[in-house]
Amino acid sequence: MKDRQNQYFGRLRKRKRRRRILIAAVCLLMLAVLICSLIRFRGGLGLFRRNQSGETVRVTLKSVYDGDTIRVKMPDGTEETVRLLMIDAPESVHPDESKNTEEGRKASEYLTELLKDTETLYLEYEDEKNNRDLYGRLLAYVWLTDTTSVEPSFIKKNMVNALVLSSGHAEFHLYQNGNKVKEAYRRVLEGIR
């Protein structure tokens, strides 16, 4: 009789143990699914933002050239002209004065006002090696912060390219220089009207 009771309680303990293991496994699986969903659909947790979008180069703003171009001092001390990727503002400083427009002057004034109290900016390239246009300008996403993200709300608040575009002083423009476009940025910038 005692033998049967021991067998019965032994089976009962095994069932309880299996049930606890199953519940723990289901909880871990649900947690993994939740984390993956956050990373994929919300642009990532703060820990993953930088890896999803790219490395930045810290630069010092020297001047605004026009509505989509700035002049910066690089970490090595050289000065570079930077063309903001995926936007195109009307002309304001073209050597052929007839090509300059009032909208171009307003775009230049807007970018100057936007960056007036900014000394440090962060450049992000689509490609570290092929990052210049046919005029020798650096092509970059320009950030107000060192952290980058693929989350739309973060891009719209912290990427200079997006801020100029959302102000109405530039249009979406896709450069075809052979680089693979950062699709997360393209979707956000293309969607700004």
171 is catalytic: no
Residue 112 to residue 68: CA distance in whole angstroms: 10
Q: Which of 91, 124, 126, 151 is catalytic?
A: 91
Contact 101, 90 (CB under 8 A): yes
Which is the catalytic residue, given 83, 124, 126, 151?
83
Q: Is 83 a catalytic residue?
A: yes
Q: Which residues, other chains included, contact 69 with Cβ-Cβ below 8 Å and sequence gap of 6+? A: 81, 82, 83, 84, 137
* Radius of gyration of the CA atoms of the chain, in A: 26
d(CA 190, CA 4): 73
Helices (H), the chain: 2-41, 49-53, 102-114, 152-158, 160-166, 183-191
Q: Which of 74, 150, 167, 71 lies closest to 114 in space, CA to CA?
A: 167
For residue 171 the two structure tokens come to 């249009």
* Catalytic-labelled residue, pool 80, 124, 126, 137: 137
Q: Which residues are catalytic?
A: 83, 91, 137
